[in-house]
Each structure stands twice: as structure tokens, then as C-alpha cells.
A = this chain, B = another copy of it.
Amino acid sequence: MKNKDFDINDINKLLIDRGIRPSIQRIKILEYIVKNKNHPTVDMIFNALKGEIPTLSKTTVYNTLNEMVKKDVLLELIIDENAVRYDLYMEPHVHFKCRICGEIYDYDMDCEIFKKKKIKGNLVERYSVNLYGICKNCLNERSKKNGD
């Protein structure tokens, strides 16, 4: 199932499937992640939703995300040294983090090498490939400033 096909009903269904009761808070949090595809931090989610749900607390965002990670609805991305980021659980892909704007982009790259279950006797359950650098947009900004 592609992200684009996700609507509110799918979100409800996904939560129920994984044994998570679909409260307003949980639906909105998951919806935010699915719709924005921006690999948000807890803070980004909280700030985006506090207008819509004025009573929302950060604790609830933390609780919800932790539960969804445990139930394989979400994936924790360890790519940012300052805060954990979250993404919908899916086939692992490559992430690129821009060190100027902080944005994280998805890359559709083949990583067959890491799909083996055992490498050198160690059991590989999950892998993550992170690229760091400067994104297209920030490169453009920079060359504009330099006048070239």
C-alpha cells in the first residue's frame, strides 16, 4: 500500500489491526506522519497538532509514538543527533539529511547487500542507510548568495 492511498479509514484500520485503539490523538498523530512524509520529531508533531487539539500534551505524543514503534506501525530513524525522527514502517530505504536546512529526504536505492539475514554470524533484523550533505535547494541558495 502506497502512502498516497492512505486516508482516514486506512489509518483507523491500521491502528485496529495492530491492536491500538484509535483515539483522536493517535489518529491525528499517525495522520500527520503519513500525510507530511517529513520524518518529524516529537516537537514537530506536537507543534503541528496543538492548534487542532489544544489539550494535547507532549507526553501523549511520546507515549503514542513509542507504542506505535513497538507495534511496528512506525519506525524510529536514528539520523539526527538532536532528536529521534519517525517514519511509517515500510521497506527500508535510504535517507538523506541536509546539514543546512535539516530536511530529510527519501531515496529509492537498492540495498540488496544488507538484506541477508545473517552477516558474519550476527543476526541482522534491520538496517538503515543515511547520507549527509547539502540538498539541492540549499546548494542553489548558496550559489545565489555567492553570485555565481
Contacts and interface: CB of A to CB of B under 8 A. Distances in A.
Nearest to A108: B120
B109 A122 contact: no
Task: Identify the 9 closest CB pairs spanning chains A and B, nearest first.
Answer: A121-B136, A125-B133, A126-B132, A124-B133, A123-B133, A123-B134, A127-B131, A122-B135, A124-B131
Nearest to A76: B81
Interface in A103-134: 105, 107, 109-110, 113-114, 119-134
B114 A136 contact: no
Interface residues of A, number: 34
A70 to B, nearest CB: 13
B131 A130 contact: no
Contacts of A129: 114, 127-130
Interface of A: 76, 78-81, 84, 96, 98-99, 105, 107, 109-110, 113-114, 119-136, 139
Nearest to A109: B113
A133 B139 contact: no
Given A78-B78, A80-B78, A124 B132 contact: yes
Given A76-B81, A80-B78, A109-B113, A128 B132 contact: yes
A136 B113 contact: no
Nearest to A136: B121
Contacts of A119: 96, 107, 131
